[in-house]
């Protein structure tokens, strides 16, 4: 099992950055307590995605924080990212693992109990339980599963997990109480006036387990 700290997992979205450089937000967030970063880009060209991935990887390297690429296996390979996150409609896990190798991190989104059961047959490194709450930052997800859904999935899953979707200071601790190993946030940090303080406050809530 890889030594992953899933406690505060940032998923990027440049449209929520308030026109600030992505590298600035990510570095500040890491200084505040973010433990993993996923680069998610749906609209830019492959070249721009690759160049952004290289810049973020260089930004994260001094902090020993893994860079995870969302969806794009080719970008993950090209920039030698630490891992890849795939959804139910993306490239199959076994293909991704074959191409990336056993040492890379692969995360898988699960949207319901059946997805979690199916994921137990796979040697993924973590699952992303998505979406916990409705969120405007991602419109192509399934119906929100709520806290009870998180509780049910963490009880049957053999994998470590993060909750994602509509998570903020008001509900972060609830996700942990339901059994998740961490929370994944987008706007709670990307749109914060002070990303470092926002990350620190979230990390404090996560540490108050039980």
On whether 41 is known to bind a ligand per the annotation, the reply is yes
Q: Is residue 109 a known part of a binding site?
A: yes
- Whether 137 has a binding-site annotation, put simply, is yes
Active site residue 138: yes
List 2, 14, 138, 177, catalytic entry = 138
186 labeled part of a ligand binding site: yes
Residues contacting 161, CB < 8 A, separation 6+? 6, 126, 127, 128, 129, 153, 154, 179, 180, 181, 182
Cα separation, 205 vs 128, whole angstroms:
19
Q: Is 109 an annotated catalytic residue? A: yes
Q: Are the C-beta atoms of 126 and 160 separated by less than 8 Å?
A: yes
Is 94 annotated in a binding site? The answer is no
187 among annotated binding-site residues: yes
From the list 7, 109, 161, 203, the catalytic residue is 109
Q: Residue 134: which of 109, 162, 163, 166 has the closest Cα?
A: 166
What is each CA distance from 18 to 22, 23, 130, 193, 205, in whole angstroms? 10, 13, 25, 9, 25
For the question of residue 7 being annotated catalytic, the response is no
Q: Tell whether residue 197 is among the known ligand binding residues.
A: no
Q: Is 136 annotated as a binding residue?
A: yes
Known binding positions: 38-42, 70-71, 90, 109, 135-138, 166, 186-187
Active-site amino acid positions: 40, 109, 138
Known binding positions for Mg(2+): 71, 90
């Amino acid at each position: 099992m890889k030594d992953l700290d899933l406690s505060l997992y940032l998923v990027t979205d440049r449209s929520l950055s308030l026109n600030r450089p992505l590298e600035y937000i990510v570095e500040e967030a890491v200084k505040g307590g973010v433990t993993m970063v996923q680069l998610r880009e749906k609209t830019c060209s492959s070249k721009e995605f690759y160049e952004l991935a290289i810049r973020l990887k260089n930004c994260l390297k001094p902090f020993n924080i893994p860079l995870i690429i969302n969806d794009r296996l080719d970008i993950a390979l090209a920039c030698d990212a630490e891992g890849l996150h795939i959804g139910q409609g993306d490239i199959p896990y076994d293909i991704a693992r074959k191409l990336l190798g056993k040492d890379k991190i692969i995360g898988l989104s699960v949207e319901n109990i059946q997805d979690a059961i199916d994921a137990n047959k796979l040697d993924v490194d973590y699952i992303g339980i998505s979406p916990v709450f409705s969120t405007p930052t991602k419109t192509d997800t399934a119906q929100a599963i709520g806290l009870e859904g998180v509780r049910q999935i963490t009880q049957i899953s053999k994998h470590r997990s993060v909750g994602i979707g509509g998570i903020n200071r008001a509900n972060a601790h609830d996700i942990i109480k339901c059994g998740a190993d961490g929370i994944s946030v987008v706007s709670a940090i990307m749109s914060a006036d002070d990303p470092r303080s926002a990350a620190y406050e979230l990390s404090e809530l996560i540490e108050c387990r039980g």
